[in-house]
Amino acid sequence: MRQVTAAVIIEDGRLLLARRPPGDPLAGLWELPGGKIEPGETPQECLVRELREELEMTATAGSVVARATYHYEHGSFEILAIEAIRLSAYRLQAHDQHAWVAFAQMSDYELAPADVLLIEQLRGRLGREIA
């Protein structure tokens, strides 16, 4: 099972989502940005690196606020949702769209199955922070 990180970036009461591009195993699905933890990396180091690579974003990473395990056809993953703070502008590198989304609008976005599990947990923990 591969461990991956997912960024929980909240600004103005909205959560940052990014959409997987065509050709990706999860093409067209929305997710919390992040990626695979490399050997010797902490989850926080991974998240900071992935945000830099995928979004050209500088960020800090905090604590794990949700976790989920999901078995896709292309592999099994444990996803760690980590609070992060954006410190710079950003530009999409690995996704084809992004959106800042309140929980009330989350049903308008087709989420990757693992991210559905994370969002359910986050709604319970962070519901007051995200409009």
Question: How does pLDDT run across 71-111, given as a tens digit for each residue?
Answer: 998 889 999 999 999 999 999 999 999 999 998 899 999 99
pTM: 0.93
Q: What percent of the chain has pLDDT over 70?
A: 96
pLDDT of residue 39: 96
Task: Give domain status of residue 42, yes or no.
Answer: yes
Confidence of residue 126 (pLDDT cuts 50, 70, 90): confident
pLDDT of residue 32: 98
Task: Give domain status of residue 131, yes or no.
Answer: no
> Secondary structure of the chain: what % helix, strand, coil (to 5)?
25, 40, 35
Contact 62, 42 (CB under 8 A): no
**How many structural domains is the chain composed of?**
1
Full domain range(s) for residue 52: 2-126
Task: Give domain status of residue 10, yes or no.
Answer: yes
CATH number of the domain residue 89 falls in: 3.90.79.10
